């Protein structure tokens, strides 16, 4: 089990201090957590909870839209990563990532008609995976539905895809038949610009306000602005997100421990701070 300590102010890089804490109780809890994560990831739509900020700078948050049937049959659902495409095809050297959370969305909903909704197929909101950057950067990935009683029986597989920069600043959308993945939903005409205002906290809590990282910091702001229409939504009054504690003027965020992810921050403030730091 690792505790990651991050101390950062604007213009100062993150400093990461990893301390290993190994006790019998910690090992027991970790093992239990893995079992829960691996076996209790079906029927995700019953598990909607407020999103927390990323726990540390070594991770990224990846957003996925699934067809509504993706939950059926108590399927196990994984984002898999591996060093090569052949590893994914041959089930070797694979890391299995379970879903971190889910948010319902009025655009990516189960209706297949109506104005201001995604109508290509019945969707199932947005799920997200908080995963180590090192497990996917420069590697390959796919998304699968797996028979809960037989891990050798994969019901649906999106096919393998190479990692690309900006993968986590957009929506990845599984094909209606589950056999492929749309990865080019980006830019000022992107369908993802229609996600509900209430979905923005889940998206923006995947980014550190005072990190210049182009993966999970304000270095990604321009992509987020365009892909999710951050500056063209009108009033965002009343919408807040949970973020790290901060103080002072100029603001300094306390990234010292992940437990500091406890402050309710208006989403407009988060957008303004990311924009200001980015210079865009």
pLDDT tens-digit profile of 91-128?
999 999 999 999 999 999 998 888 889 999 999 999 99
CB 63 within 8 A of CB 203: yes
Q: Positive or negative CA dihedral for 73, 178, 203, 120?
A: negative
For 59-97, the pLDDT digits (tens) are 999 999 999 999 999 999 999 999 999 999 999 999 999
**pTM for this predicted structure:** 0.82
Closest CA to 77 of 136, 11, 147, 135: 147
According to DSSP, the β-strands at 261-266 and 240-244 are: antiparallel
Structure-derived torsion over alpha carbons of residues 215, 145, 119, 64, reported in degrees to the nearest 10 = -10
Total tally of structural domains belonging to the chain? 1
- Give the residue ranges of the chain where pLDDT is below 50: 1-42, 46
Domain housing 180:
2-278
| Local structure of residue 208 (DSSP, 8 states) | B
């Amino acid at each position: 089990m690792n505790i990651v300590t991050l101390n950062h102010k604007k213009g100062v890089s993150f400093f990461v201090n990893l301390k290993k804490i190994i006790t019998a109780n910690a090992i027991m809890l970790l093992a239990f957590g893995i079992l829960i994560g691996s076996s209790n990831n079906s029927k995700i739509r019953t598990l909607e909870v407020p999103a927390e900020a990323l726990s540390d700078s070594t991770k990224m948050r990846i957003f996925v839209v699934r067809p509504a049937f993706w939950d059926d049959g108590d399927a196990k659902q994984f984002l898999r990563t591996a060093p090569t495409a052949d590893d994914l095809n041959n089930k070797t050297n694979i890391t299995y990532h379970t879903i971190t959370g889910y948010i319902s969305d009025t655009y990516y909903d189960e209706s297949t008609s109506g104005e201001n909704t995604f109508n290509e197929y019945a969707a199932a909101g947005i799920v997200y995976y908080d995963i180590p950057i090192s497990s996917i950067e420069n590697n390959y990935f796919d998304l699968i539905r797996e028979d809960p009683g037989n891990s050798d029986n994969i019901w649906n597989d999106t096919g393998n895809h190479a990692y690309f920069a900006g993968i986590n600043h957009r929506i990845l959308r599984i094909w209606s038949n589950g056999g492929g993945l749309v990865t080019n939903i980006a830019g000022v005409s992107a369908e993802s610009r229609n996600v509900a205002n209430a979905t923005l906290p889940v998206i923006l809590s995947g980014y550190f306000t005072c990190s210049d990282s182009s993966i999970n910091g304000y270095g990604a702001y321009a992509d987020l602005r365009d892909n999710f229409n951050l500056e063209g939504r009108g009033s965002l009054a009343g919408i807040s997100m949970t973020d790290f504690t901060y103080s002072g003027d100029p603001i300094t965020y306390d990234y010292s421990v992940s437990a500091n992810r406890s402050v309710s921050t208006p989403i407009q403030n988060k957008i303004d701070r990311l924009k200001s730091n980015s210079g865009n």
